[in-house]
Amino acid sequence: MSRPSPSRSIRKELILLLVLALANAFALRAGAAEGEGCGPFETPYAALDLAAADAQPEGGIAPSTAGESRAGEADGPIVGLPAASGPAERGPVAGEALLALPKRADGTLPLDFELGAGVRVSDSYWSPVLCATVALLVGPPGASLAEMVPRVPAGATVASHDRYTTAGVSLRPASALPAQPATVSAPDSYRPMQWGLDRLGAETAWTSSQGAGVRVALLDSAPESAHRDLAGVEVAGVAGGPAAAPATHGTLMAGVVGAVARNGFGIAGVAPAATVVAVPVCRPAGASASDECRLYDVLRGVDRAWELGAHIVNLSLVGPANPLLERGMARLDQLGALVVAAAGNEGTSDPRYPAAYPSVIGVGAIDPDGAPFERGNRGPSAELLAPGVEVLSTVPGNAFAFGDGTSLAAAHVSGALAVLLGASADPAASRTALFQAADEARPPGSPASSPPPAPPLCRALEKLKRGRC
């Protein structure tokens, strides 16, 4: 009796995994699985070589040192961050690929695919956002996508298993950092150093909304949820995903969005009453803020955020275009979630993803003088500009640190949207109001002595008819 071919045997293994995944899908949100937009992928399969994207860009945040602590014993210290041991690895994961089999209109999955020699299914799951079963394939390190999946069903797609990264740390001399005010009388000890809140007009907006009732999902490395200024931050991991051990980058993001306000300690978040849910999708590379975020984990994080009812999804990570990531971002937009992403820190106008997708709000950074961050990306990845230089936020160890980068700018925008959504309960209107407010600057040719325009959050609330400046 002849043995079955290796590809057929592997195919049977995948079919079993698909059946298990579909069985689990009944417990997921039916609205996403059955919602508009499910069906074949519009992006056709292309035989892309894994070696073609050998040097993908990195981006995100570049935290900087603040030298010695200038705080008293009762407060968390402002600390310096260690230099990165090296950039996170770039390019697709060699010898790995993702196969997505979308649900057809009749509820079935296309199973007429073929795996190449030596290729196996490492893991698979049902994605309610993608409306597809996604399988992680592992094969020979030098194999192309066409060699890993020689036959792809109509409507399905195979994609490289791309890496997305936050950025390494860039240390800054203590002499170049903003000095702590000699007298601190704010309800939060370091509030006077949070110029970003002043630029947004956050505290004026808080009279209308502090983001209560809004859930913000941070797809990032895990924050230190035990930090005194991050009380209430939830960590919702994915089984088999990155560990929930506290990391620098995720802790910085959580502080910008949701640090507790007026608790007599540290800083205040842009939307202190919002519910911040951290979904770890990135693996820290050492003690710095240089994290690696693999696409399979990011996609599972997207589903986790949706299952948890996130209204806003923040992705302060940067990498290449990918049809599965594009589909996930478009579906979140169709389902009513607001998606915000960092533009990256390479000083380029070339598009970076997911920020450059039309369904995503891509964010670049400005400094305290309103000038664009010199290393921040521009062009299609940066639709909005927000505070991202000399930003003070939380880091592990119940401490604080200054950071530069578009990751911090994206977190400011996510917090601002949470404030607006808390006032209006209308995601589309909140997004439109923020964009309109950001477009309104001092008219060209107006004298310098003329009063500056009201802060963006204040103007946006007026457009939503939810507050007055």
Measured CA to CA, the distance from residue 199 to residue 457 in angstroms comes to 9
Domains of the chain, earliest start first: 6-53+92-161 (no CATH), 61-90+165-442+450-463 (3.40.50.200)
Question: In sequence order, what E strands does 396-442 have?
Answer: 399-405
H or E segment at 412?
helix 406-424
Task: Label residue 43 exposed, middle or buried (CB < 10 Å: 0-12, 13-18, 19+).
Answer: middle
3-state secondary structure of 136: strand
Q: Which residue has the tokens 């990256």?
A: 344
For the record, the structure tokens of 361 come out as 């709000």
* Amino acid 38: pLDDT: 67
H-helix or E-strand spanning residue 195: helix 195-200
Here the contacts of 22-28 (C-beta below 8 Å, separation 24 or greater) are 22/109, 22/126, 22/133, 24/125, 24/126, 25/126, 25/128, 28/126, 28/128, 28/303, 28/307
Q: Please give the pLDDT value at position 286.
A: 61
Task: Tell me the average confidence (pLDDT) per consecutive run of 10 residues in the chain, 469 residues long.
Answer: 44 46 37 52 37 32 35 67 60 95 84 93 94 95 95 94 76 48 70 95 96 97 96 92 90 96 94 98 76 96 97 96 97 96 94 97 95 93 94 91 92 98 96 92 51 84 83
Q: Which residues are catalytic?
A: 220, 249, 407
Q: Please tell me the distance from the alpha carbon of residue 239 to that of residue 274, in angstroms, as a whole number.
A: 25
Residues 462, 464, 468: CA angle, nearest 5 degrees: 25
Residue 444's pLDDT is: 52
Task: Map residue 219 onto helix, strand or coil.
Answer: strand
Q: pTM value?
A: 0.85
Question: What does the pLDDT read at residue 349?
Answer: 95
Query: 341: helix, coil or strand?
Result: strand
One-character DSSP codes across 277-333: EEEE--EE-SSSS-EEEEHHHHHHHHHHHHHTT-SEEEE--BB---HHHHHHHHHHH
- The pLDDT assigned to 322 comes to 97
